A = this chain, B = another copy of it.
Amino acid sequence: MKVRMSMIGGGEGSFIGPVHRMAARLDGMIDLVSGAFSSDPSVSKVTGLKEGLANERIYDTWQELIKAESQRPAGERPDFVAIVTPNHLHYGPARMALEAGFNVLCDKPLCLSVAEAIDLHETVERTGKLFCLTHNYTGYPMIKKAREMVLGGEIGEIRKVAVEYFQGWLSSPVETTGNRQAEWRADPHRAGIAGTMADIGTHAFNLAEYVTGLETVALSADLHSVLKGRLLDDDGSVLLLFNSGISGTLLASQIALGEENNLSLRVYGDKGSLCWRQMDPNSLKVMWSDKPLQIYRSATPFSTAGISAPLHLRIPAGHPEGFIEAFANLYRNFALNIMAVRENGKHDPLLDYPGINEGVRGMKFLEAVVSSAMNKSLRTAL
Instruction: Let me know if A323 is at the binding interface, CB within 8 A.
Output: yes
Instruction: Let me know if A288 is at the binding interface, CB within 8 A.
Output: yes
Residue numbers in B under 8 Å from A323 (CB-CB): 315, 319-321
Q: Could you tell me the distance between the alpha carbons of A362 and B272 in the complex, rounded to whole angstroms?
A: 32
Instruction: Let me know if A89 is at the binding interface, CB within 8 A.
Output: no
Instruction: Let me know if A63 is at the binding interface, CB within 8 A.
Output: no
Residue numbers in B under 8 Å from A302 (CB-CB): 290-292
| A380 partner, pick from B221, B235, B289, beta carbons under 8 A | B221
Question: Is A273's CB under 8 angstroms from B256's CB?
Answer: yes
Closest-by-CB residue of B relative to A172 is: B289
Q: Could you tell me the distance between the alpha carbons of A316 and B257 in the complex, rounded to whole angstroms?
A: 15
Question: Is A380's CB under 8 angstroms from B219's CB?
Answer: yes
Residue numbers in B under 8 Å from A51 (CB-CB): 28
Nearest CB on B from A34, distance (A) = 15
| A218 partner, pick from B22, B28, B241, B379, beta carbons under 8 A | B379
Question: Is A273's CB under 8 angstroms from B253's CB?
Answer: no
Q: Could you tell me the distance between the alpha carbons of A218 and B302 in the complex, rounded to whole angstroms?
A: 39
Instruction: Let me know if A153 is at the binding interface, CB within 8 A.
Output: no
Question: Is A293's CB under 8 angstroms from B297's CB?
Answer: yes
Residue numbers in B under 8 Å from A379 (CB-CB): 218-220, 239, 241, 372
Q: Of A22, A218, A375, which is in contact with the most chain B CB atoms at under 10 Å from its CB?
A: A22
Kindly identify, within residues 226 to 274 of chain A, every residue whose CB is under 8 Å from any CB belonging to chain B: 226, 235, 237, 239, 241, 246-247, 249, 251, 253, 255-262, 266, 268-273
Nearest CB on B from A232, distance (A) = 16
Interface string of A302-346 (1 = CB under 8 A from B): 110000000000111111111111000000000000000000000
| Interface pairs (14), CB distance under 8 Å | A15-B316, A28-B52, A160-B235, A218-B381, A224-B247, A239-B239, A258-B273, A258-B288, A291-B302, A293-B294, A315-B324, A319-B323, A364-B382, A371-B380
Residues of A within 8 A of B (CB): 2, 15, 18-19, 21-22, 25-28, 51-52, 159-160, 162, 167-169, 171-172, 215-222, 224, 226, 235, 237, 239, 241, 246-247, 249, 251, 253, 255-262, 266, 268-273, 278-281, 286-297, 300, 302-303, 314-325, 361, 364-365, 368-369, 371-372, 375-377, 379-382
Known contacts A222-B247, A320-B323; 19 additional CB pairs below 8 A are A22-B26, A22-B28, A22-B314, A159-B257, A215-B382, A220-B380, A224-B247, A249-B251, A257-B271, A260-B317, A260-B319, A261-B317, A262-B318, A281-B320, A292-B295, A292-B297, A314-B324, A322-B322, A372-B379
